[in-house]
A = this chain, B = another copy of it.
Amino acid sequence: MKVDKDIITKIISSDKRAIAKALTLVENDDEGSEKLLKELYKHTGRTSKIGITGPPGAGKSTLTNCLVKLMSDKGYKIGVIAVDPTSPFTGGALLGDRIRMQEVGLLENVFIRSMATRGSLGGLSKNIVEACEVLDASGKDFIIIETVGVGQSELDIAQTTDTTIVVLVPESGDSVQAMKAGLMEIADIFVLNKSDRQGADGVVSTIKNIIHLKPPSKDGWIIDVLKTVGSQNEGIEELFNEIIKHKDHLEKSSYLTIKRKEHLSKKIKELVNNKLEINFWDDTKIRNLNERLEDIALKNKDPYSYVEEITK
């Protein structure tokens, strides 16, 4: 695709088709994508980026939907990136989730995109971070990045958003399991969803106790635990207020600038590493590896010496 001034202008004026085109470009790492991102960069930086994460089945999609509807009612412009670990045979998302998402996506001021996490060279976050930039440049007030599961990918996402919301449910076993999964370190806001179920209050106080054990946050923010029932649209207004509270806190302290600079530094490093890999692995190198693989598999040569040899 040719990147002309036209598409840039259209993206900035929030044209849905132009945004969709740009996201496809970025997602596929197409030729024009870097040129596009270069042009868009100066229009970015005004969006609040919110990550929503937690274990599978916690109701993150439902919660995201409720939040988007509320924000939309209040007149905000919202972008959503739903990060799906792609399944080759299911296409990743559950049908029900997708249908609910699509309804919300029809709203004039809402743009929703599902993105896969797998298989891209240079790790998960590159394309997702770049998709955020497109949405950011298009003038969204909020971008919500919803990620499934707990793992390295979630930590990556937390390192690109301003506010990270961790969603748990009463029956997700011991709430201490969340600690084990490393979620305690990335949360700015905890949400106990499906909190009309048994044991909710117990879980809330356990999480609160754990938070108190944690050394206070660098930026002075105090993490709260909110209760929601996504399916009943309960607690969403309170969650939105907490998001705004965190946003104000970051802006009033100098921490938003610090946080974003850290993210930028991380992003540049990833871009560099990605470029180094692409530049290195040309056809000759890949052919060489394939030719030598048998020999290494048969233990005639060790992989470490081979790596030294080809990176010299």
Residues of A within 8 A of B (CB): 34, 37-38, 41-42, 44-45, 55-57, 84-90, 92-94, 117-118, 123-124, 148-155, 171-174, 176-182, 184-185, 213-215, 257, 260-261, 264-265, 267-269, 271-273, 275-277, 279-281, 289-290, 293-294, 296-297, 299, 302-308, 310-311
Contact = CB atoms under 8 A, between A and B. Distances in A.
Contacts of A85: 150-152, 155, 180-182
A176 to B, nearest CB: 6
B151 A271 contact: no
A311 B90 CA distance: 39
Contact of A151 (B42, B152, B257): B152
How many copies the complex holds: the figure is: 2
**Interface majority SS on A: helix, strand, loop or mixed?**
helix
Given A272-B311, A281-B269, A38 B304 contact: yes
Contact of A37 (B93, B264, B290, B302): B302
A311 B303 CA distance: 26
Contacts of A179: 87, 90, 94
A152 B152 contact: yes
Contacts of A213: 89
